[in-house]
Structure 1
């Protein structure tokens, strides 16, 4: 069985290496920082333009499921992140713990949640809507939670930090939603080219953050044993969320298809949304803030791929114990009308390519 090693992670690691060897300094750093700010605004404009308002409204009938996913993403995850403070300083350094806590505050994924839910024969429509709601809520909730829970992040609720959030995140997102009627067709026709724009923008944000970290010498705080400890803490975090989201959804009375959507949408974190948010919220300290999220992203892809494949082989019966549940029909994707294949081999092959470039 081939695990989905995301090629975009390789590009991110290459960008980190470039920043380590050739960090931007002086006037070059100012130019890169300005370009990064523009890239973040562009990213959130595209996120807003791609989010289908119609699909979001159609999904309101699954409000219990969406509230469960939001509770996992923005309540249970942060509580576990706060509990992990007991690992400081014996397992995690204060700086790495700040990044660990930040990853628990970002919204859920969209594209990979859809793919994994489809592989496992779950409620794909609910996964689309749940991921979309999470991305939308994260525009407001993630900066709010960062300001409340991470000391000094973004300067708290100062006028300057609020203005940065509004101008770089919220305003472009709302502009994309307002202009979706006119630009949606263009985005659909040029999806591959815009995917390159997405990836290039995120790579620029990463280069800017890690360049600043190299100039300030903060990477001297990270040693191989600390990285291994971080991976261990993240593995425990992911295992807890996968377990609680599955059995918690069962306890709440959700059907199997809905439990699958809850598990995959409620247990994962968005790299594409988290990286630019960190650039806005943490500034020069963003490099250590995004490192745990980058590692967690690859881990969740690999683990969820295994779980989805196993769920796809589970015997599925209806309420009477013998009526088969039909596989999910092709539905509109998060970025427009895009069929989602129910076959594990097809979906697993496409997970990595789309995960980091869309709103998930």
Structure 2
């Protein structure tokens, strides 16, 4: 079931295709600036559409549920960021610096929206809370992921200066805020073209992956990562998956959340967004660095789906409901 779910995921198929294309036909260095410009235009449009889609009323409702949202924010941008920092330090002994710092970068990213919500639905969790919390985390991530990354010392081998901050503001923040401001006039158009908008999202993210990974291929990623290094990366991904999933479940239990809310907390708290992480990396880092840094994110994105599908099915099983931590809704209108 897990394999069928992964193969059926259009976003994952596009990401794999982008990596394979970059491996066999990378963008030549002479065309890298033009390719990056095209990717940046696509990212601008992507975040403009995100601003149009996320309802301000949903943001308000999510903020009111502070008992869920506040611990979720602290978990995603606090505990997971520190876990990423620890792994980056631990794995630095056997990995190129840019790949090691990729684990810190992975740690500071927000949750997914689509897959976290999909698996919450499969597991019979609180879908509405999952949608709102994942959307809020993505919005917050645009503002806080980079500052947290820099605060924890994650500059890679390059410097992040005012020019980079200006690019982030221009390509990510400006279109998102603009989308929020105009969504009263554009919501109907977005709703009518929902499927096309979703495919545009996927294609822009795949393009950003292609541009970033082309840079890594041009810099000789296959020669810089021997089998031992790939083994260390696999260990790092496995540890981060364990921390993310087990930690989110235990934290939600310690908060005594209802079971359906715990499921929403689990999938929103353990997953990481390639939709935010890859475009942000292509802006934050030089092209020849970005491909190395997003490598842990791309692998984590794949394996979080490998784990999430059977986990959601198991959580949906009625015999696994523990009355001590499961609260049935008292009334339904």
TM-score scaled to structure 1, two decimals? 0.84
Q: Among residues 292, 305, 327, which one is paired with 1:288 in the alignment?
A: 292
Residue number in structure 1 paired with 2:27: 24
Does the alignment pair 1:132 with 2:135?
A: yes
CA spacing shift, 1:184–1:83, aligned 2, 3 Å: same
Q: For residues 23 and 2 of structure 2, what CA distance do their matches in structure 1 show?
A: 31
Q: Deviations over 1:311-356 (max 9, x none)?
A: 11134477899x8558999xxxxxxxxxxxxxxxxxxxxxxxxxxx
User: Are the equivalent residues in 2 in contact too, given 1:147–1:154 (CA < 8 A)?
Assistant: no
Residue number in structure 1 paired with 2:154: 150
Does the alignment pair 1:187 with 2:198?
A: no
Residue number in structure 2 paired with 1:312: 316
CA spacing shift, 1:191–1:326, aligned 2, 3 Å: farther
Q: CA deviation at 1:166?
A: 0.4
Residue number in structure 2 paired with 1:302: 306
Q: Deviations over 1:6-64 (max 9, x none)?
A: 34333323222322333223552222111011111111111111111111212233111
Q: For residues 233 and 26 of structure 1, what CA distance do their matches in structure 2 show?
A: 31
Moved more, 83-92 or 62-71: 83-92
Q: For residues 153 and 61 of structure 1, what CA distance do their matches in structure 2 show?
A: 41
What is the aligned residue count?
Answer: 327
Q: Among residues 254, 259, 274, which one is paired with 1:256 in the alignment?
A: 259
Q: For residues 216 and 32 of structure 2, what CA distance do their matches in structure 1 show?
A: 12
Q: Among residues 46, 50, 57, which one is paired with 1:47 in the alignment?
A: 50
User: Are the equivalent residues in 2 in contact too, given 1:120–1:311 (CA < 8 A)?
Assistant: yes
User: Are the equivalent residues in 1 in contact too, given 2:257–2:325 (CA < 8 A)?
Assistant: no
Residue number in structure 2 paired with 1:332: none
CA spacing shift, 1:160–1:328, aligned 2, 3 Å: farther
TM-score scaled to structure 2, two decimals? 0.90
RMSD over aligned Cα atoms: 2.5
Q: Deviations over 1:283-310 (max 9, x none)?
A: 2211011111111011111211111111
* Gaps in structure 1 of 5+ consecutive residues: 330-360
Q: Where do 1:103-114 residues align within 5 Å?
A: 103-114=106-117
- Runs of 4+ in structure 1 deviating by more than 6 angstroms, as ranges, are 317-321, 326-329
CA spacing shift, 1:317–1:218, aligned 2, 3 Å: closer
CA spacing shift, 1:146–1:196, aligned 2, 3 Å: same
Q: Deviations over 1:61-100 (max 9, x none)?
A: 3111111111111000111111113433444332211112
User: Are the equivalent residues in 1 in contact too, given 2:85–2:103 (CA < 8 A)?
Assistant: no
Q: Deviations over 1:121-146 (max 9, x none)?
A: 22222111110110111011111122
Q: Among residues 199, 208, 212, which one is paired with 1:196 in the alignment?
A: 199
Does the alignment pair 1:71 with 2:74?
A: yes
* Gaps in structure 2 of 5+ consecutive residues: none
Q: For residues 112 and 67 of structure 1, what CA distance do their matches in structure 2 show?
A: 21
User: Are the equivalent residues in 2 in contact too, given 1:106–1:270 (CA < 8 A)?
Assistant: yes
User: Are the equivalent residues in 2 in contact too, given 1:122–1:328 (CA < 8 A)?
Assistant: no
Q: CA deviation at 1:218?
A: 4.3
Matched residue SS, 2:22? helix
Matched residue SS, 2:110? coil
User: Are the equivalent residues in 1 in contact too, given 2:103–2:297 (CA < 8 A)?
Assistant: yes
Residue number in structure 2 paired with 1:88: 91
CA spacing shift, 1:188–1:223, aligned 2, 3 Å: farther
Q: For residues 229 and 12 of structure 2, what CA distance do their matches in structure 1 show?
A: 20
Moved more, 251-260 or 102-111: 251-260
